[in-house]
Structure 1
């Protein structure tokens, strides 16, 4: 049995998601390997601990729809000549295909059991966290937005929600900087600028600000060296500032 097969069997076993045949195969392997049996026990304990330690989170309906769409789009594995035309009385589901579905089911069960946040699920579906955060903000009852013109061209749109504490910016038409420079975001809280991440121009992809936005913050942008200001404070005059009041 390969290490990959063993990992899949142990994962399914910890979540009680194995078929009878696969459970039998794993039981046989566990019976002859005390270290493996101990690993299986620890995996089960970990799954129980995670399920008990984290509050249940009801995933949005769209997450379920996307997962089901992925399942439907998953191509069936190619069959060998040996498996292509079994005798009717000997026909049985191919173990590799069955393993795919049980492993996928186990993964989905783990996601729901441990209450992984929407952002983490979205990353599994190849959706940027900023996109998910923007959707989360826009669906909040207290969602707000504002925009301002950027010196040098383009517009900065700010989207935020006090209840989530999150803020996302969309830089529309903001030009690309010279190599070695980046735009840096700041929460300006009173007179204090707080670093909130960097982004490149030339794209209207949303950017999730780092840290939590507070009521009354102004979101400003300066041009800094790549990676952000080395001093932790702005080194240039802001090219745009968007108030959240």
Structure 2
């Protein structure tokens, strides 16, 4: 990595609110990993227009004389044009990086190591990007009894929600964290988190459909989960 590339990464991390160089590096790595898991997604017109406006200001590479190129080489493209081509070839990667950048901005703070931990499957990753790209996306964070924090990310329009956790205590092998929709006094199972190690960030898109006014809670349950909560919730977040 060149000095310019290191400087660019440091500046990006600072803009995103990373607290140190390691957080900035983790963000870059996770955004790239998430982008590789996603199918191509057609960006909204306003997103594409904003990015094109940024591309127009990129510096152009110096021209290369014909004699310096092999006969089979194609002409050099301006930096802006090459970037536009990359956008259309892999828009999913660009959108996923934007989603990772925006996802954990809650009250102006950045929860480091976004999306690290257990690698999500393709369906989960796609769902997370869709939630974050929804026009009505909302965020709410809370401290957890016993340590750690959680951030709820949801869209009533999509009827979907995701929970991003940081620093939850590691459980015994026969226990899991179970997620619940809390609706009119009823707890509805919404998936489990099994790869929590006490330090990294772990996230999951909740199963089932979210309704307007639902809260989301987390309990500690036997391995495999329960049909109804068997312990008091360690956190509950109203949507």
Higher relative contact order by CA 8 Å / sep ≥ 6: 1 or 2? 2
TM-score by length of 1: 0.48
Structure (1 or 2) with the greater helix fraction = 1
Q: Which has the larger radius of gyration?
A: 1
TM-score by length of 2: 0.49
